[in-house]
Amino acid sequence: MNIRQWLGVLPIASALLLGSSQSRAQGSPLVFAVNEGVTYRVNPGATIERFKDLSEDLSKLLKRPVKIQAVSDYKELAAGLAEQRYDLAYVHPAHHSIRAMSKSGYSLVAVTKGFTEYRASFMVRGDSPLKTLADLKAQKVGAPDEDSITSVIMRATLRDALGPQSLETTYVKLQEAVMFMVENKFVAAGVSASKSVVKDWQDKGGKVLATSKPVPIKHLIASSKVPESQRAQLTAYFTGLEQSPDGKKRLEALNVPGFVEFDQNALVALGKWLAI
């Protein structure tokens, strides 16, 4: 083959290679990781089933298969986000999604309606002499899992109130167990962001010493491997679910009221306060 023939074949070969690459991209599944928190009782199999109809919608929208991957372990979640193993991720713990946006190239698609004002409450017994967070100095505090977003917010709030020196903290797996420690005087105060836990505590005569500033949780983020045009499609899809009967069914399955757009820069700024 002479040089003129080779130059004539080259564009055809390049087009074939490009088409093959695009075909593989369209055929490979989009990995959609779902993490629903560390201090809640979550069944991974049930998570995949609840997201089934939604994944089918996304497959049609993006014209490629969508694989739901339940990720309950936070270390696995952090590693997967750092390596961009997940094309799309629905992340309960805000500190992990904010870290992914600020350090690993992820972009915000939407946040969950009804979860933009997530706060950690500091609770004490009804007969406790403590009045403010400053009174917790030299006291012991009970909190959920050390890597839970509730405990991350707790530590940021205590830094504001008491300075950089950390309090002695007992961490437990479930938020409900925190108040057991307070009730039995194992700790001076307990921290929870569960509205039901806080309400039950107050109904029993317990007091809320202080409440943190709000942090949006349950973020939907997309990796840099997802084109900007598709990220826009995803935002439109999720924020529009409330507008149709089928969309409302998807939201019921996820047990959330809807999704809204949010300022990614504001979340990254919150990450600095959270010391991410």
Q: Which tens digits make up the pLDDT trace of 4-49?
A: 554 454 444 444 344 444 444 456 899 999 998 865 556 788 899 9
Same domain for 109 and 11, yes or no, is: yes
Contact 251, 237 (CB under 8 A): no
Residue 110 bridge partners (DSSP):
220
Structural domains counted in the chain: 2
Q: How far is CA 5 from CA 2, 136, 226, in A?
A: 5, 82, 38
The domain boundary, picked from 193, 211, 229, lies at: 211
Q: Compute the distance between CA of residue 172 and CA of residue 189 in angstroms, rounded to an integer.
A: 14
Same domain, 72 and 40: yes
The amino acid sitting at 35 is: N
* Cβ 253 vs Cβ 119: under 8 Å: no
Residues 138 and 183 in one domain: yes
Q: Report the share of the chain in percent with pLDDT over 70.
A: 88
Same domain, 51 and 179: no
Give the model's confidence band at 166: pLDDT under 50 very low, under 70 low, under 90 confident, else very high: confident
* Residue ending a domain, choose from 211, 226, 246: 211
Residues 189 and 245 in one domain: no
Q: Are residues 12 and 129 in the same domain?
A: no
Range of the domain at 238: 3-116+216-273
Question: What is the per-residue pLDDT across 59-101, written as a single tens digit (0 to 9) for each?
Answer: 999 999 999 999 999 999 999 999 999 999 999 999 999 999 9
- Do 134 and 98 share a structural domain? no
Task: Give pLDDT, residue 40.
Answer: 56
> What is the CATH number for 253?
3.40.190.10
Mutual angle of helices 264-273 and 94-103, in 10-degree steps: 110
Q: Select from 157, 189, 211 the last residue of a domain.
A: 211
Domain check: are 111 and 220 in the same one? yes
CA 193 to centroid of chain Cα atoms: 15
Q: Are 140 and 185 in contact (CB under 8 A)?
A: no
Q: Are 108 and 126 found together in one domain?
A: no
Q: Cite the beta strand spans of 36-157 per DSSP E.
A: 66-70, 88-91, 107-112, 121-124, 140-143
Give the β-pairing of 219-222 and 88-91.
antiparallel
Q: How many C-beta neighbours within 10 Å does residue 22 have?
A: 10
What pairing do the DSSP bridges indicate for beta strands 259-260 and 66-70?
Answer: unpaired
One domain, residues 146 and 196: yes
Torsion of CA 68, 101, 159, 125, to 10 degrees: -20
Go through 47-83 and write b for each residue having 16 or more CB atoms within 10 A of its CB, e for each that does not. Answer: beebbeebbebbeeebebebebbbbbebeebbebbee
Please answer whether residues 221 and 107 qualify as being in contact, where contact means their C-beta atoms are separated by less than 8 angstroms: yes
Mean pLDDT of the residues in the chain = 91
230 and 100 in one domain? yes
55 and 9 both lie in a single domain:
yes
Confidence of residue 132 (pLDDT cuts 50, 70, 90): very high
Q: What is the separation of C-alpha 219 from the centre of its chain, rounded to a whole number of angstroms?
A: 5
